[in-house]
Structure 1
Amino acid sequence: MPEVLLDIDHVDVTYPARGFRGKPFQALKGVSLDVRPGECVGLVGESGSGKTTLGRAVLGLAPVTGGALRYQGRDISHLGRRQRRALSSDIQVVFQDPYTSLNPALTIQDILTEPLTVRKVAKAEAQRRVRDLLDQVHLPSDAGSRLPREFSGGQRQRIAIARALALDPALIVCDEPVSALDLSTQARVLALFKEIQDRTAVAYLFVSHDLAVVRHLSHRVAVMYHGEIVEWGDGDQVTTRPQHPYTQKLFLAAPVPDPAAQERRRAERRALAAATGL
């Protein structure tokens, strides 16, 4: 395996102007980071920071206007549709909303079989693969005959994870995959992500607004602010001993169970915001 699976090298993303008086909007400004085989890289920032745009750029859904995206050394910044479809065997995605990311008219069997059918996998082998995928995400074998509406949010996200695993990808972009779930379900889905990575050595680019969430999974963490990386390093260091004021603000925003400690955090966050303007 290569030392670097995904290399994001000074990437810019600029959206064209809208309307007569509109101006182009630069969503990413020289962003650089990398993902190694079998590693989870957390990408953290508030809404509008550019983190989801970076994930979309990796997936070919946002225009790369500067720099380069390289997968296993190959430049994938400007692939055509056919080349991008071929790359989907290696790079998959789990979206944020488990209620809209699954086709409500298809059974779970059909949803999980679809990517295999596109790759011309034989029907019997596809059915065996679906049973295996359901087992990997801890859903009952009869789930394949049911529709998405018959499952809870956490179960639907497990189905979305199974779909992402169908083609044995080397990298999965996880776009806020637990933010729509309650806390107890979040913990179970995060444990599932960890279990799957330990078993398959798949790499994750894990996008989240919550430092506490990425702390559970990430080997390294990048923090984004206004389209730029402001802190990047070891996951434990960034999520527990942040150096940049913006990362410190995110750290202090995470709730704690002690009311007195929570009030102290709020006071520290207000003081930090007043001192830095963040």
Structure 2
Amino acid sequence: MTAADVTETADPAVAADALLQVRDLRVSFPGRGRRAPRTEVLKGVSLDIRPGETLGLVGESGSGKTTIGRAVLGLVPVRSGSISFDGELVHAAGRARRRALSRDIQVVFQDPYTSLNPSLTVGDTLAEPLVAHGTGPREARDRVRDLLDRVHLPADAAHRLPREFSGGQRQRVAIARALALRPRLIICDEPVSALDLTTQRAVLDLLLDIQEETGTAYLLVTHDLSVVRFMSHRVAVIHRGEIVETGDAADVTRAPRHAYTRALMLSAPVANVAAQRRRREAEEPCRLTGAP
């Protein structure tokens, strides 16, 4: 079976050349008690990402946005629906196929420190996926130097441990590791939310530069509409496990149609105190309820 056998999305123009296709995805987790009903986290989610495109997936905490990324990575079981990559259904792929897919699909997690092995040097961390996929030692060392240069870290960083770096530098290491196998899609799960504002901008600029040079597609999972506006070509807004609005980033962030998206925008902080007060007053009638 291929992606052609799966129901199309509402936007055929996007679906026609999509690199990643998610169709009617449903994910549920067991309840806490033996007889407790299962909790449905995703309720029929569909989305597409084209080659070289950034899709911003935005929603509040608990909306299910991170679960979508984990499902694409094969880290949570899919109850129903499908996930296809480059025309191949992969949601039920076995271990060997998942390992092969890691060349094409990588991830950058929110916390750069916990996502790095504290006992491995940066050089060993970056070389590990290369060696696992059959790269020779000399070629791996050359690739590590290239990766460090690509994320603007000094060559001697290869001999240092993660704890010797700042949060922003560790996130650069995590990005370098994601780039090691030259993937076609990177899932960025809140990649800058743990960083200060100045470092956030530097990391986002780096991700944009990488995308321009390599053509890598991003699934950008975030709660921050300002990050979505800065990074994304298109936006999908998720609320309580359902996509409630999709469209071009400029259209969705400037003139959202759904009440939940409008409430998200009102809840985002602004630098001007008076403007923030007015926005909070406007927010009261629809405080992230999704109601019109």
Q: TM-score, normalised by structure 1?
A: 0.97
* Contact 2:263–2:288 (8 Å) recurs in 1: no
Counterparts of 1:193 and 1:56, CA distance in 2: 20
Counterparts of 1:265 and 1:209, CA distance in 2: 18
Secondary structure of the structure 2 residue equivalent to 1:139? coil
Counterparts of 2:268 and 2:288, CA distance in 1: 19
Counterpart code for 1:234: D
Show structure 1 runs of 4+ deviating over 4 A.
274-278
Counterpart code for 2:150: Q
2:114 to 97, 100, 120: 100
* Contact 1:176–1:206 (8 Å) recurs in 2: yes
User: Given the alignment of the two structures, is residue 234 of structure 1 paired with residue 248 of structure 2, yes or no?
Assistant: yes
Counterparts of 1:94 and 1:165, CA distance in 2: 10
User: Given the alignment of the two structures, is residue 166 of structure 1 paired with residue 172 of structure 2, yes or no?
Assistant: no
Residue aligning to 1:205: 219
Alpha carbons of structure 1 residues 50 and 276: separation in structure 2 relative to 1, 3 Å = closer
* Contact 2:260–2:288 (8 Å) recurs in 1: no
Secondary structure of the structure 1 residue equivalent to 2:60? coil
User: Given the alignment of the two structures, is residue 186 of structure 1 paired with residue 200 of structure 2, yes or no?
Assistant: yes
Secondary structure of the structure 2 residue equivalent to 1:216? helix
User: Given the alignment of the two structures, is residue 250 of structure 1 paired with residue 264 of structure 2, yes or no?
Assistant: yes
* Contact 1:240–1:251 (8 Å) recurs in 2: no
Alpha carbons of structure 1 residues 275 and 20: separation in structure 2 relative to 1, 3 Å = closer
- 1:171-204 residue CA offsets vs partner (Å, 9 max, x unmatched): 0011111111111111111111101000100000
Deviation at 1:277, TM superposition (A): 5.2
1:138 to 125, 149, 152: 152
1:120 to 134, 141, 145: 134
* Contact 1:38–1:201 (8 Å) recurs in 2: yes
Task: Give the root-mean-square deviation of aligned CA atoms.
Answer: 1.4
Gaps of 5+ in 1: none
Residue aligning to 2:169: 155
User: Given the alignment of the two structures, is residue 35 of structure 1 paired with residue 49 of structure 2, yes or no?
Assistant: yes
User: Given the alignment of the two structures, is residue 9 of structure 1 paired with residue 9 of structure 2, yes or no?
Assistant: no
* Contact 2:259–2:291 (8 Å) recurs in 1: no
Q: TM-score, normalised by structure 2?
A: 0.92
Counterparts of 1:273 and 1:154, CA distance in 2: 33
